[in-house]
């Protein structure tokens, strides 16, 4: 098994002003917002994984780091055994070709003055994938692959419907011949029938081309339909991860269970139906960050911060909870001691 991405205790924090003055003549230390706080995740070649969570959970920040748009504040983020932040120029060019991104705002990501043909040709020329005489044929094949007619090549983005412009965004991602697709809420805002068409398209493309898919979504219905694995985020940390069917059938973390009760339909933003206040990422509490909202909180939860732990020997499920649902005691070994390194897979 070839590991593409490996994240080990990845953190990302941002300065958000100054804290209170320390003493009468003391200075003011900068306050920091922890958008990501100890993320642990491993993604193998051919995986399809959905990263889900409420707004503010850190999903978009995680994508930016995994695309190399920002460096982590701490921790290790590797792509094919190499620290992403240390890639040289040729390595970054190879990474940009191999890892394609489908934007949430597909129309806004396209130059409104460029026709669809030119939008698709641009990555071909950038990476020298074909001779100029072959470009028209490749454009037609790409459009056909995503379910559009060749006549669409002459249109501008403003002339396309919402579903059509999303298909062009998929075609543009495929134009670079990538091995990995990262999609950020790429079916949000569409009606259910168009969503279903695009999800079927993405799933078929990944299966036919052997692509790795990293899908960011607030919709558990989309995650369960499209991806084989799911990682649930809460306040900058993954709190549960495993095969989608198992997680959806029997969630281990109370936050995942609350999200399960909150999604009756596609394209409904996740919002867990829980009492209590969400802690501030600027001032995270001691102990479990979910304790203020957990329906089964216990005294130890406010004292000990749970680490992502494997549930049972050899099982694929991981959970960051001292008292997982349906488990009398935390089983397995903490992931920090058990998580294999990149080199172990190669």
Q: In this predicted model, what pLDDT tens digit does every residue of 290-324 receive, in sequence order?
A: 999 998 899 999 999 999 988 755 568 999 999 99
Token code pair at residue 125? 């020329």
Query: Please, what sign has the CA dihedral across residues 117, 119, 123, 125?
Result: positive
- Other beta carbons within 10 angstroms of residue 287's beta carbon come to 18
DSSP code, position 51: E
DSSP code, position 244: H
pLDDT value at position 280?
86
Phi, psi of 229 (to 5 degrees): -125, 155
**Is the pLDDT higher at 6 or at 20?**
6
- Other beta carbons within 10 angstroms of residue 210's beta carbon come to 10
Q: What is the mean pLDDT of the chain?
A: 85
pLDDT value at position 314?
56
Q: How far apart are CA 201 and CA 107, in angstroms?
A: 19
Contacts for 279 with CB less than 8 Å, ≥ 6 apart: 235, 285, 289, 292
- Complete domains list, the chain, with CATH: 3-7+34-345 (3.40.50.300)
CA dihedral 337, 338, 339, 344 (to 10 degrees): 110
Q: In this predicted model, what pLDDT tens digit does every residue of 131-143 receive, in sequence order?
A: 999 999 999 999 9
Q: How far apart are CA 108 and CA 91, in angstroms?
A: 28
Tell me whether strands 48-52 and 318-319 are parallel, antiparallel or unpaired.
Answer: unpaired
State the number of CA atoms in the 13 A half-sphere of 335 facing the CB: 25
Q: How far apart are CA 341 and CA 339, in angstroms?
A: 7
């Amino acid at each position: 098994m070839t590991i593409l991405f490996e994240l080990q205790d990845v953190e990302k924090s941002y300065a958000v002003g100054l804290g209170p003055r320390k003493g009468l003549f003391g200075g003011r230390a900068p306050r920091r917002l922890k958008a990501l706080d100890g993320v642990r995740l491993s993604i193998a070649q051919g995986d399809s994984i959905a990263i889900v969570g409420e707004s503010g959970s850190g999903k978009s920040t995680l994508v930016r780091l995994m695309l190399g748009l920002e460096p982590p504040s701490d921790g290790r983020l590797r792509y094919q055994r190499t620290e992403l932040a240390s890639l040289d120029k040729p390595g970054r060019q190879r990474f940009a070709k191999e890892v394609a991104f489908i934007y949430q705002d597909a129309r806004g990501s396209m130059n409104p003055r460029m026709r669809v043909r030119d939008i698709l040709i641009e990555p071909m020329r950038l990476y020298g994938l074909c001779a100029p005489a072959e470009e028209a044929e490749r454009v037609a094949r790409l459009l056909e692959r995503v379910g559009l007619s060749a006549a669409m090549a002459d249109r501008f983005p403003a002339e396309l419907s919402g579903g059509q412009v999303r298909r062009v965004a998929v075609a543009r991602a495929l134009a670079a011949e990538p091995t990995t697709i990262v999609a950020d809420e790429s079916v949000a805002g569409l009606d259910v029938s168009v969503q279903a068409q695009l999800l079927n398209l993405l799933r078929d493309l990944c299966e036919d081309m052997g692509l790795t898919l990293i899908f960011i979504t607030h919709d558990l219905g989309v995650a369960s339909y499209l991806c084989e694995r799911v990682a649930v985020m809460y306040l900058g940390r993954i709190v549960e991860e495993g095969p989608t069917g198992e997680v959806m059938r029997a969630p281990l973390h109370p936050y995942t269970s609350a999200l399960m009760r909150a999604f009756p339909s596609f394209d409904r933003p996740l919002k867990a139906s829980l009492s209590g206040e969400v802690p501030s990422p600027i001032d995270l509490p001691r102990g479990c960050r979910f304790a203020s909202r957990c329906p089964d909180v216990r005294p130890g939860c406010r004292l000990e911060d749970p680490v992502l732990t494997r549930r049972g020997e050899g099982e694929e499920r991981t959970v960051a909870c001292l008292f997982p649902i349906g488990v009398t005691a935390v089983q397995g070994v903490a992931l920090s001691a058990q998580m294999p390194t990149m080199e172990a897979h190669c």
